[in-house]
Amino acid sequence: MRNLEKLNQTLTEFYDKMSSWEQSVVKETGYSLAQIHTIEVLGIHGDLRMKELATKLGITTGTLTVQIEKLVNARLIVRCAHPTDRRAIVVTLTEEGKVIHRLHNQLHLDLVNDLLRHVDSDQEKVLLECLEKMNQEF
């Protein structure tokens, strides 16, 4: 029998702790969590059209436009016309944006390394497989 109640509680607790950690780390940067997530997605996936970026962030293009304007003003990203589709705008990290991404990504890597310090390689493999399957459901 699946232990759904315990899994639910454990996942909820982990999410809450991860969110709290993320909020505390982001607070120190002077940028909002939404801005850091936008930088994070661009750092992982590279240049994206506005619609693609909005989809990856799970927000509307209207909401994204506000975030992009703030990040352009902060000189962390630039907007460019798409080379073959004149209707599309592509957003790209600037060098300063790439630095912010690398620093934030390193904080994530350090956290994951710390969280897995008592997990053996077989358990780590199973955890990765489970998380990948769960991510596919979203």
Say if residue 2's pLDDT is above 80.
Answer: no
Closest CA to 7 of 122, 131, 132, 136: 131
Please state, in angstroms and rounded to a whole number, the distance separating the CA atoms of residues 101 and 40: 6
Please state, in angstroms and rounded to a whole number, the distance separating the CA atoms of residues 45 and 53: 9
Counting Cβ atoms within 10 Å, is residue 70 exposed (0-12), middle (13-18) or buried (19+)?
Answer: middle
What pLDDT was estimated at residue 123? 96
pLDDT tens-place string over residues 67-108: 999 999 999 999 999 888 888 899 999 999 999 999 999 999
pLDDT tens-place string over residues 4-39: 999 999 999 999 999 999 999 898 888 999 999 999
Say if residue 1's pLDDT is above 80.
Answer: no
Fold of 27-114: Arc Repressor Mutant, subunit A (1.10.10)
Q: What is the pTM of this model?
A: 0.84
pLDDT tens-place string over residues 32-74: 999 999 999 999 999 999 999 999 999 999 999 999 999 999 9
Mean pLDDT, rounded, for 111-120: 95
Task: Kindly report the backbone phi and psi dihedral angles of residue 37, in degrees, each rounded to the nearest multiple of 5, phi listed first.
Answer: -65, -40
